[in-house]
Structure 1
């Protein structure tokens, strides 16, 4: 078969071990998955009530226009429904955007350490990839982005807060960048962790879409809303951008149950706020633990932390696995010497710290 030649240089996504697998391999009764930045508090109880009432019309295709969720989101964000695009998670949104804009002869700009799907999709589409090294503190080097961009730049990816570092750029910093960025490039502001940010320096960037014709905001229900298994993401941009992206989006790309669950979850803002409050308190515990043990930790505004380990990151992950904690090795993320840990519940984090103590003892 005549596969694209670039595929020979690529590898499929490598997921971490499942809870069931870790229990079987290590003979553990209790295992905590803190590797995929899922919400440890689950999702709104109203979602379970909604699902229990859904027992018919499974033979029907979902609404191709995603009218219900788009209308609800439009009201929530005070935009027009035509300024929204619903996707099968943030991953598909990256694919849709890349497929619409990237091709041989153009380039795309991003941070050297960021969400890997930007690079993955750019390779498949044959575009030139320009990765800009992050600053010493882990921030995006936006000045470097401007230097790397030119008239052939099709997309600039700004992940804020950034995955896997957790770093957050203030809204004023983003605005200053947008004022200077090339108007011919689509600026994608990936805000998958928007809801977890507690900094006073964050504004709602969705309000800017009429000020910047080349701006797209990407968000998801997978993280703070606790709907990762339903795969619902969305983009907000001016109507012209959404119209073009809709030409690429597959029909029926989302399912009926997921669309309804997202509507219900969006309505329960109290549950969301409670999760954010708990997450902030536990995030502060990680910072205190790192300082107490003289470990470097990136300044996170998300539901995960990137923290230094005193041994090889893969070895550290293995030891934590033996204690029943699944975390992500920095060797896979471009941050050797660190592990990324999802911020769990108070009980989960207390146990994690005890397990982490074993790394300090063995160094």
Structure 2
């Protein structure tokens, strides 16, 4: 069999998702490291777990696993629409935010098209662009690693079909202020779709941030993506959603598979939206965790980004991979950013207080020992 003659021409640009140590489920991390206790601070997961209301609703839904779920998730659509001040026809559900990004690419991108992607941003935008055979065009970051909207505008050509933005941005945690976002959208051609990924929206507070959902009412070419994976702790259930004008949503619905969101995920999402206490607790845990990281990095004299998400990006001043390995020896797993060319940086997810204290203690020891031996 000559596989190269059978697969699509985009095949060389694609890679299956491979799990390095930082990508493994925590039980597999324990086996790989030979440790009883491991702190996983690499996946931006909510350490508090799902809302008790969500767990109860999902358990109740198990009795009807023999039945197909609502194809479009009408009840969840309606609840999201009510919460966000839009209409149900402005909302579309997906199998996590990742699938929504893929659906957008399948709906709008063709091989002759270009998609603009910030250079340090969520990798799914690049993967989905490649899947469609379109050309990724990278926009530069500012010196502070925030997204450079002016450079994005300069990169737009007659071939540009989609612009992907992540706000707050992963892996930097920086935000695009609301006034800058609106000015930017006013200058983007109407035939260019601007996709704004707000996976970390619920954690953002400050720096002029505001959701772009309101802007979908003003700009027909704006599509916002959200997820239940982060603050709502439903990462394993796989449910996300998009918000845009009805015509945009209908276009994406043309390629969306029926029953793409299972009934358990829909039940959990509905209940999660009703649990404001769980959201507030998650925000407070996140706030305290970031404060501890900020203090730790300040004490060490290290440069870091004031994140508006549930992680912090820090410049260790050393080889990031080396610091990663030394933390892993202590059962603490974070994320290197070598793939972005940030070879001295780490991204640290916010965990429980015990996990953050353990990281701070180990990290201080590693950095101080390195400075002493230098």
What's the CA shift for 1:273?
1.5
Determine if contact 2:58/2:264 at 8 Å carries over to the other structure: yes
2:10 to 6, 22, 26: 6
Alignment of 1:1-363 (within 5 A): 1=3, 2-15=6-19, 16-199=23-206, 201-360=208-367, 361-363=369-371
- Partners in 2 of 1:17 and 1:323 — Cα distance? 17
1 CA distance for matches of 2:187 and 2:97?
A: 26
**SS in structure 2 of the partner of residue 154 of structure 1:** strand
Q: Provide the secondary structure at the position in 1 that maps to 2:250.
A: helix
Unaligned runs of 5+ in 2: none
Q: Secondary structure at the match of 2:304?
A: coil
For residues 351 and 28 of structure 2, the distance between their equivalents in structure 1, rounded to whole angstroms, comes to 20
Distance 1:174 1:21, change over 3 A: same
Deviation by residue 1:320-349 (Cα, 9 ceiling, x = unmatched)? 111111111111344221111101122110
Which secondary structure state, in structure 2, belongs to the residue aligned with residue 224 of structure 1? coil
Give the TM-score taking structure 1 as reference length: 0.96
Say if 1:151 and 1:182, in contact at 8 Å, map to a contact too: no
Runs in 1 of length 4+ with deviation above 4 angstroms?
A: none
CA RMSD of aligned residues (A): 1.4
Q: Cα distance, 1:107 vs. partner? A: 0.6
State the distance in 1 between where 2:271 and 2:294 align.
Answer: 34
Deviation at 1:131, TM superposition (A): 0.2
Deviations 1:252-280 (A, max 9, x none): 11100100100000111121022112211
Measured in 2, the distance between the counterparts of 1:327 and 1:246 equals 37
Tell me, what secondary structure is at the counterpart of 1:109? strand
